[in-house]
């Protein structure tokens, strides 16, 4: 499909000169109007623009004020506080849970829930390097060197270890990703050797006919689990790790594994003719077994890795980029909704073939706005969309393509990123604890007056893209739907005691998750708007206030209370992701430039590279 780009560009060049002149004039006029902040245009102006412009431009949204109230030394001091928080969590783990996977921060014990291989240590290695914690890193290296990946330690946590298998997905993103990132940042050969060994132990998981990884591997025998179904997040979130381990070791078996999986995904996309990948898959057939869509649990990183695979390989893997664009097309046109009160933008999921939205909004899905911002920052989205041949798409994917072709895709993705990150942040800012819930049910009952003059309710909810279309066609009055100033529910109730929340909390836990901070960090890096740093600072203060214990940090059971009741868990991703994104958000120096590094889904940065001529020859990569 991507070869269509050249034909497309050719077509544009052959247009009559007067169209080109008209287009430039129109661009000049519309940009001038935006800079002058003229709110609407004369009658017929938009139709004229639509005729001449390849993309319908949107103003680049800016959230809140763009003046920083906080000085650079204060941000450095805040970063230092995050470093202390990391040390507090890691020292608590070493003191009370050394040799175990994670710390139980209330009972001060260890838990083995991820193979019993010290997952917190592996997940923390690159955070130590970023924070200049050399002693901690040096002390961890011998433990990593001696770890026994063939022995699954008895679990006293969840049921994974009891199955006799190491869970492929979790082992890849936490252990393998942790080893590879720490190797890339330190150059310590032992880390790469261990990564190669671990990847080799896990490779029987790729034994399904389509090369989609199975649930797990028995590391002692090499046998893999035999189940034939899997969820998108677990079958399509290892491409980065396998690509990088193949590059770093020169091992062709590692390359062949990821190559086969990438072909399976590209074939599935071609057969499906566009759209998002559904949540459930048959591993042997390499085909989806449901039509459910989600950006949250069961799917999240499966979508994330499409863009990131393209970025990691120096933008050479164009099939992954095309899959990302087709995914974003469907998400933006079918999964993004607005609430009636504050017009909060949210991303939800749909079940079965009916595409009925649940209107659930998951904390896990709050990674998506950051992904959109990353894509808009690093990719020419308009060219990527234009490179797709719409005649090869299904009717529904073509409809999505046509709706979005009218817009400047960069501006539209950034607008969605801003609106969604704002909602994710408000989920925290609305709570007495200042921490965000695991799942909420968003209100979707839009009241309106029917043609008969009677009040009516649209209970199906309002799709964001429909609201954007109305806004466009109505002369773009006011902020783009889902953007503009949003007040917290406390602020609103001070003004109007009867103000209603836009959602009800379904799961009130905060599991020390990173997704909202990940998006806040990416919004800061891609827009330079300091409002995101300030919001991140509010969240860090809430973590310190509500989740800190004498020997670590604990997940919170009820975000709607302060002090919030805690639960006896300190997940390893808190050290790998949550504290890392906070630290990077507050550091003035850009320690992980987005054009040079790609974060895996556990926030382990892998360096961008280009396949060398020798690698292309050896691995059989077409030039």
Binding residues for Ca(2+): 601
Select from 335, 420, 340, 359 the least CA-distant residue to 61.
420
Q: Which residue is nearest to ligand DMJ (CB)?
A: 601
CB 440 within 8 A of CB 360: yes
CB 246 within 8 A of CB 262: no
Asked if 570 is part of the footprint of ligand DMJ (rule: CB under 6 A), the reply reads no
Residues 437-466 that bind ligand DMJ (CB under 6 A): none
In the bound state with ligand DMJ, the residue whose beta carbon lies nearer, of 332 and 364, is: 364
CB 410 within 8 A of CB 381: yes
Kindly state the smallest distance separating residue 371's Cβ from ligand DMJ, in Å.
Answer: 11
CB 130 within 8 A of CB 79: no
Q: Look up residue 318 and give its two tokens.
A: 């164009």
Select from 301, 183, 315, 177 the least CA-distant residue to 595.
315
Kindly state the smallest distance separating residue 174's Cβ from ligand DMJ, in Å.
Answer: 7
Asked if 513 is part of the footprint of ligand DMJ (rule: CB under 6 A), the reply reads yes
In the bound state with ligand DMJ, the residue whose beta carbon lies nearer, of 165 and 573, is: 573
The rounded distance, in Å, linking the Cα atoms of 374 and 227 is 35
What kind and span of H or E run contains 10? helix 4-13
Catalytic residue among 102, 241, 259, 300: 300
Verify whether residue 139 is a known catalytic residue: no
Q: Running DSSP on this structure, what letter comes out for residue 354?
A: G
Residues 394-433 that bind ligand DMJ (CB under 6 A): none
Q: Look up residue 559 and give its two tokens.
A: 């975000």
In the bound state with ligand DMJ, the residue whose beta carbon lies nearer, of 231 and 325, is: 231
CB 500 within 8 A of CB 445: no
The 574-593 site mask, x for binding ligand DMJ (CB under 6 A), equals ---x----------------
Kindly state the smallest distance separating residue 181's Cβ from ligand DMJ, in Å.
Answer: 14
Residue 570 bridge partners (DSSP): 103
Q: How many residues does the chain have?
A: 623
Neighbouring residues of 345: CB distance < 8 A, sequence distance ≥ 6? 336, 337, 338, 416, 419, 420, 422, 423, 464, 481, 482, 483
Verify whether residue 300 is a known catalytic residue: yes
In the bound state with ligand DMJ, the residue whose beta carbon lies nearer, of 368 and 573, is: 573
Q: Look up residue 182 and give its two tokens.
A: 């720490």
Catalytic residue among 136, 515, 569, 602: 515
CB 523 within 8 A of CB 421: yes
Q: Look up residue 419 and give its two tokens.
A: 């609106």
Question: Could you tell me the CA-to-CA distances from 219 to 177, 225, 233, 256, 305 in Å, in that order?
Answer: 18, 11, 22, 21, 26
Asked if 334 is part of the footprint of ligand DMJ (rule: CB under 6 A), the reply reads no
Kindly state the smallest distance separating residue 601's Cβ from ligand DMJ, in Å.
Answer: 4
The 350-389 site mask, x for binding ligand DMJ (CB under 6 A), equals --------------x-------------------------
Question: Could you tell me the CA-to-CA distances from 249 to 193, 200, 289 in Å, in that order?
Answer: 8, 12, 35
Kindly state the smallest distance separating residue 52's Cβ from ligand DMJ, in Å.
Answer: 43
Among 301, 360, 378, 529, binds ligand DMJ (CB under 6 A): 301
Residues 600-619 that bind ligand DMJ (CB under 6 A): 601-602
The rounded distance, in Å, linking the Cα atoms of 310 and 324 is 9
Catalytic residue among 170, 304, 330, 362: 170
In the bound state with ligand DMJ, the residue whose beta carbon lies nearer, of 386 and 606, is: 606
Select from 336, 321, 398, 409 the least CA-distant residue to 369.
336
Among 573, 581, 609, 619, binds ligand DMJ (CB under 6 A): 573
Verify whether residue 362 is a known catalytic residue: no
Kindly state the smallest distance separating residue 156's Cβ from ligand DMJ, in Å.
Answer: 20
Catalytic residue among 259, 317, 319, 438: 438
- Residue 222 CA to its chain's centroid (Å): 32
In the bound state with ligand DMJ, the residue whose beta carbon lies nearer, of 423 and 601, is: 601
Dump the DSSP string for 150-187: T-PPPPSSSSTGGGTSEEHHHIIIIIIHHHHHHHHHH-
Radius of gyration of the chain (CA): 24
In the bound state with ligand DMJ, the residue whose beta carbon lies nearer, of 123 and 502, is: 123
Kindly state the smallest distance separating residue 576's Cβ from ligand DMJ, in Å.
Answer: 8
Dump the DSSP string for 200-231: HHHGGGGGSTT----SEE-TTT--B----EEE
In the bound state with ligand DMJ, the residue whose beta carbon lies nearer, of 196 and 513, is: 513
Select from 394, 398, 264, 270 the least CA-distant residue to 329.
398
Kindly state the smallest distance separating residue 234's Cβ from ligand DMJ, in Å.
Answer: 10
What kind and span of H or E run contains 480? none
Kindly state the smallest distance separating residue 515's Cβ from ligand DMJ, in Å.
Answer: 6
How many residues of this chain interact with ligand DMJ, rule: CB under 6 A? Answer: 9
In the bound state with ligand DMJ, the residue whose beta carbon lies nearer, of 401 and 510, is: 510
What values do phi and psi take at 62, rounded to 5? -125, 125
The 467-506 site mask, x for binding ligand DMJ (CB under 6 A), equals ----------------------------------------
The residues of the shown chain that bind ligand DMJ, judged by CB under 6 A, are 300-301, 364, 513-514, 573, 577, 601-602
Catalytic residues: 170, 300, 438, 515
């Amino acid at each position: 499909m991507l070869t269509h780009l050249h034909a497309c560009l050719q077509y544009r060049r052959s247009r009559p000169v007067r169209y080109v002149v008209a287009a430039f004039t129109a661009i000049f006029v519309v940009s001038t109007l935006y800079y002058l902040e003229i709110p609407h245009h004369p009658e017929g102006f938009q139709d004229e623009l639509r005729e001449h412009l390849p993309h319908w431009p949107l103003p680049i949204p800016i959230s809140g004020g763009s003046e920083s109230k906080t000085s650079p030394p204060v941000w450095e001091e805040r970063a230092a506080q995050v470093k202390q928080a990391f040390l507090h969590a890691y020292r608590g783990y070493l003191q009370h849970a050394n040799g175990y996977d994670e710390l139980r921060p209330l009972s001060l014990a260890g838990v083995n829930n991820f193979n019993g291989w010290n997952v917190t240590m592996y997940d923390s290695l690159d955070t130590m390097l970023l924070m200049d914690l050399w002693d901690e890193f040096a002390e961890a290296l011998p433990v990593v060197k001696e770890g026994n990946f063939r022995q699954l330690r008895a679990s006293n946590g969840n049921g994974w270890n009891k199955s006799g298998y190491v869970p492929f997905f979790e082992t890849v993103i936490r252990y393998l990703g942790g080893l590879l990132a720490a190797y890339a940042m330190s150059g310590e050969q032992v880390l790469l050797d261990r990564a190669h060994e671990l990847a080799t132990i896990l490779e029987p998981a790729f034994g399904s006919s389509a090369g989609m990884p199975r649930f797990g591997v028995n590391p002692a025998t090499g046998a893999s689990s035999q189940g034939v179904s899997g969820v998108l997040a677990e079958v399509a979130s290892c491409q980065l790790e396998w690509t990088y381990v193949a590059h770093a070791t020169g091992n062709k078996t590692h390359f062949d594994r990821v190559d086969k999986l990438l072909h399976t995904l590209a074939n599935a996309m071609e057969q499906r003719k566009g759209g998002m990948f559904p949540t459930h898959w048959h591993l042997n057939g390499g085909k989806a077994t449901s039509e459910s869509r989600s950006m949250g649990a069961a799917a999240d990183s499966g979508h994330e890795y499409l863009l990131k695979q393209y970025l990691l390989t120096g933008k050479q893997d164009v099939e992954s980029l095309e899959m990302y664009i087709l995914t974003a097309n469907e998400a933006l046109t079918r999964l993004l909704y607005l609430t009636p009160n504050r017009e909060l933008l949210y991303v939800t999921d749909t079940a079965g073939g009916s595409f009925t939205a649940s209107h659930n909004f998951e904390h896990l899905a709050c990674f998506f706005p950051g992904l959109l911002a990353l894509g808009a920052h690093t990719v020419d989205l308009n060219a990527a969309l234009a490179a797709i041949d719409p005649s090869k798409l299904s009717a529904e994917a073509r409809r999505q393509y046509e709706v979005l072709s009218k817009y400047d895709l960069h501006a539209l993705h950034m607008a969605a990123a801003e609106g969604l990150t704002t909602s994710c942040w408000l989920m925290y800012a609305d709570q007495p604890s200042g921490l965000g819930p695991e799942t909420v049910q968003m209100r979707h009952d839009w009241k309106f007056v029917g043609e008969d003059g009677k009040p009516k309710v649209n209970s199906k909810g309002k799709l964001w893209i429909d609201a954007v279309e109305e806004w466009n066609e109505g002369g773009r009055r006011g902020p783009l739907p889902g953007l503009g100033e949003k007040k917290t529910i406390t602020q609103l109730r001070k003004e109007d005691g009867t103000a209603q929340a836009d959602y009800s909390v379904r799961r009130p836990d905060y599991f020390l998750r990173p997704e909202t901070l990940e998006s806040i960090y990416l919004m800061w890096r891609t827009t330079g708007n300091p409002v995101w740093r300030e919001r991140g600072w509010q969240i860090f203060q809430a973590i310190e206030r509500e989740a800190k214990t004498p020997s670590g940090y604990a997940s919170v059971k009820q975000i709607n209370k302060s002090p919030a009741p805690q639960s006896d868990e300190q997940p390893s991703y808190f050290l790998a992701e949550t504290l890392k994104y906070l630290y990077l958000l507050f550091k003035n120096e850009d320690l992980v430039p987005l054009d040079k590094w790609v974060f895996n889904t556990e926030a382990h940065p892998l360096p961008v590279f280009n396949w060398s001529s020798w690698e292309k020859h050896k691995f059989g990569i077409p030039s």
